[in-house]
Structure 1
Amino acid sequence: MATSQSLKKELTKKEPGKLPKDPFKALVYSASIKKRFEDMLDKQANGFITSLLNLKQEKLKGCDNMTVLGSALKAASLKLPIDPNLGFAWIIPFKNHGKLEAQFQVGYRGFIQMAQRSAQYKKLNVTEIYEGQLKSFNPLTEELELDLDNKQSDAVIGYAAYFRLLNGFEKMVYWSKEKVTAHAKRFSKSFGNGPWKTDFDAMARKTVLKNMLSTWGILSIDMQEAITSDSKIIKTNEDNYEVFDEEAADEPEVNATDVEYMEAEDEEEKGKDRDPYEGTPFAESMDDK
């Protein structure tokens, strides 16, 4: 996408009449945009910008520049890294009415992190339930009986999420795989493609967790913003305005989304005793406390 006229003037004022060889890089490093990243991320801004430029070059070629930038600024405002290996947030290419644009996605780890930041949650988790592990679930009383030692196969039959607040309030939900699938078919235009095809379980965990938190949890301002902007095409401009594309993208760019949504299983194992903020822009501020 071409940048606005005023921004073009800023990008070319040092070399009148000549556009930079890499317009997106010049856009990101323009004074107004770079300052926006620095205001939100402080010392982590340079690392975030490097991740963004690598992502644009490797996975988002041809995407509308302002939608890529809009998604990146949204991730920065939520202090969620966009490195696809971390799984906190993704910027993915979508064909929206024939035009390749970027869509912002929050991963289930991103929702967990924002819940932790609120300092209201004592416990929070979401997990797969395998064949043989589920003994019973009462949706009215939310009594879930499991036999985790009775896993009979690697077939996932459902997903369970749970939280307990510091004030003692707790909530548990269980969704069968069929319920997750029906929900995704109804509300996600990307179902059957991209992440729903390459990593169904990660998307299912996110779906159940997001639904539980948005319905029953304490929502911080960041959490509300994440829920509102999740799965949206976000455009931005030099005047700090954001515009959400209310019409959902209709043609997922399947090949381009695969890597962004892959959840590394070895990271799941290594991350059991790991600081959940390690490797994110939020890590430093937590260490200062």
Structure 2
Amino acid sequence: MNNQLAKQEKKPSFGVMINSTGYKTLINRTLGDPKKATRFVTAISSAVATNPALQECDAATIVSAGLLGETLNLSPSPQLGQYYLVPFKDRKNNRTTAQFQLGYRGMLQLAQRSGEYKRINAMAVKEGELIRYDAFMDEIELKYIEDEEQRQSLPTIGYFAMFEYHNGFRKVLYWSKAKMEQHALTYSQGYRAKKGYTFWEKDFDAMGIKTMLRQLLSKWGMMSLEMQKAYEADGGVLNQDGSIDYVDTVEAAPQPEPVPVAEEVVQEAQQQPDPIPEPPMPDEPPFVDDDDFASLMG
């Protein structure tokens, strides 16, 4: 009897819901192009199908995050890394939601598309590549190691980001590995707790690159309306009324690679001289109970 009730109460799959009349109307009205709407449904359904944890999410939050990505002309494909749909288990509100997470490749795409930048780049710096860095004069000298196999075998010593406008204005930024480590310890509670599941622990360099781009562009870059929109939504759960919830007391739902799951949302600092906290790159923790999660939050 209980099994029968469970089956009856089981919610429809995301594939069924997104093809319902209500969602079709919403998507067509938002995108304004039937072909684009069809392509969107296919792409977002594929992203959800490859990640079982997303299938448990509130469909409205998936569609809202996906529509934002679509209006920004970014792909939800985890392989491209432009943005992620990140499932969160919100025990406080007894629901699982999908969070919009902007990837560093998405940041680069939006910056390049703005037309303001002649050049823009961000990379990890390997041992032997840094010749000198003068923060006072805003100058850096690097020597790239061209042998890729050799380069990958060397330890990372820091992170570099730069841009140049068409008018010649140029800005460079370099952080040592130690400075990035301190940043991670300050703004990532999961990393500080050394639980082993955070993206900082799984791919420190990728998170370092995203951090450098956020620091560089948020402080000194020209932000197009698209970039501002993406940055404001980064790390948030988008509601149907257009509001964004930034929740720091939820836990990430487990999901398979290559889609990582986020650890916590840290609000961005408003003072320019201070480091800018990063909306976390996705992490992959298991479900934990409220007491365990509270211990992570200190």
Q: Structure 1 length as normaliser, TM-score?
A: 0.73
* Corresponding residue number in structure 2 for 1:286: none
Change (3 A) 1:149 1:27: closer
2:157 is the counterpart of 1:161? no
2:89 is the counterpart of 1:89? no
Aligned AA (1:37): I
Q: How does 1:1-289 map to 2 (within 5 A)?
A: 22-38=12-28, 39-40=30-31, 42=33, 43-59=35-51, 60-97=54-91, 99-149=95-145, 153-189=153-189, 191=191, 193-236=197-240, 241-248=241-248, 250-253=250-253, 255-256=254-255, 258-261=257-260
Aligned AA (2:252): P
Change (3 A) 1:136 1:93: same
Contact 1:107 1:206 in 2 (8 A): yes
State the SS of the aligned residue for 1:148. Answer: coil
Residue 145 of structure 1 deviates from its aligned partner by: 2.0
Contact 1:94 1:249 in 2 (8 A): no
Residue 41 of structure 1 deviates from its aligned partner by: 7.1
Deviation string 1:4-35 (CA, Å, 9 cap, x unpaired) is xxxxxxxxxxxxxx999735334322345334
Deviation string 1:186-214 (CA, Å, 9 cap, x unpaired) is 33455463433333222221111122111
State the SS of the aligned residue for 2:258. Answer: helix
Distance in 1, matches of 2:245 and 2:256, equals 19
Distance in 1, matches of 2:136 and 2:91, equals 43
Contact 1:90 1:105 in 2 (8 A): yes
Q: Structure 2 length as normaliser, TM-score?
A: 0.71
Distance in 2, matches of 1:249 and 1:68, equals 20
Residue 173 of structure 1 deviates from its aligned partner by: 0.4
- What are structure 1's unaligned runs of at least 5 residues? 1-17, 263-289
Distance in 2, matches of 1:243 and 1:187, equals 24
Distance in 1, matches of 2:38 and 2:188, equals 34
Distance in 2, matches of 1:194 and 1:85, equals 19
Distance in 2, matches of 1:252 and 1:189, equals 13
Q: Which has the higher contact order (CA 8 A, sep 6+)?
A: 1
Q: CA RMSD in A?
A: 2.8
How many residue pairs match? The answer is 240
Change (3 A) 1:114 1:84: same
> What's the % identity of the aligned pairs?
35
Aligned AA (2:230): A
Distance in 1, matches of 2:43 and 2:190, equals 25
